[in-house]
Structure 1
Amino acid sequence: MKEHVRPLPSYLVERYQGWQATTYTENRAWYRRLADEGQRPRAMVISCCDSRVHVTKIFGADQGEFFIHRNIANLVPPYNPDGDHHGTSAAIEYAVRNLKVAHLILLGHSNCGGVAGCCALCEGNAPDLETPDSFVGTWLNLLRPGYERVKDIPEAQRQQALEEEAVKISLENLMTFPFVREALDDDRMTLHGLRIDIGEGKLYEYDPKENSFAAI
């Protein structure tokens, strides 16, 4: 390991030093308060790892406002306390039980590579994702039920439809967590499903009554 761990690239060091000299210095008291008093985020956001999805900038959020968890294709697995490692489930448990967030937000996005990978996997066009040692392939199988719902629509519309299914499947799976359902039933938390169009900058919200997404 020693020969592979290297100093941070200079451009990142320079950016950090710029942040420390300006943003941090100008708000030192606020950062120290956050450190001393701990976090009290109002919402948890589950979004994709995609570098183009900048959650805090989309909503103009400041430090301490969002508890953010990111993974491939913004997916939530069903509740399954089987003793294995579950990073997403652990993050949800901590946000709901310990931080007691008031809002739990699922945020999908356009042109999602994970969703495209799921399409290819389900259509038999991604042999590298079908191998037992593919963490990505195993993870994307969570979205397979969503693919089954949209597989018969025109190919040109399938990607967006499956991106929406990624949000809906995750909302459905969230409801299998007893502590999530309890918080919702007690009106201590609300659930939200969103999809951002990266190129257009438009945010769409899921309406379960209409089973569709509409622009906000």
Structure 2
Amino acid sequence: MAQIPETHDDTLHRRGLMFILSSPSGAGKTTISRKLLAHDERMGMSVSVTTRQPRPGEIDGKDYIFKTQEQFDQMVEDGHFMEWAHVFGHSYGTPKSQIKAGLKEGRDFLFDIDWQGTQQLYQKSETDVVRVFLLPPSLDELRRRLTARGTDSAEVIAGRMARAQAEISHWDGYDYVVVNDDIDTCFDKVVQILAAERLSRARQTGLIGFVRELMRPEV
């Protein structure tokens, strides 16, 4: 009889994906991103270029690639970004280097970007992109979370709340929407989304050869 190749989920070769997590400030995307990176060794963070100053503990080239506005503008002009946007007075962008090659090798990249960057990535690489938007359970809870940080003035928080509502209005530009009323439950849902997308028929490039082997006439 024909030999059936031994396999289990995700052993077939597949194309990598760009897994986007977006949310208003304070809705949990940074926490979920960190948990996902710690949980899944196959997921790597897409390191953005930014013009803002490093925060305490941030490492250039690991957390962000820090550039001056002049350097950033030159990178835009030279076409080095897959997407870029101007947010809260600073510029952020995703460099093309290594992303495209990594996708072919089956590597996954996590993107912590806003709706503008998401829209640009989707327009350029639709089949490689998975878009997840996290919502707060309420505006009151979002305000409480921002206040609890203790890092921003009342004026800054008011600005973030106004921007949050503007960002929430773009929820329908995402493939999945998850309400983050409990961080562990929210994380479990995000993990389930990632697992399902990795098993997408279109993304599993090794399926054709595998199925052909299964369909070989018995000897």
TM class by shorter chain equals 0.3 to 0.5
* TM-score, normalisation: structure 2: 0.32
Q: Larger relative contact order (C-alpha < 8 A, sep ≥ 6)?
A: 2
TM-score by length of 1: 0.32
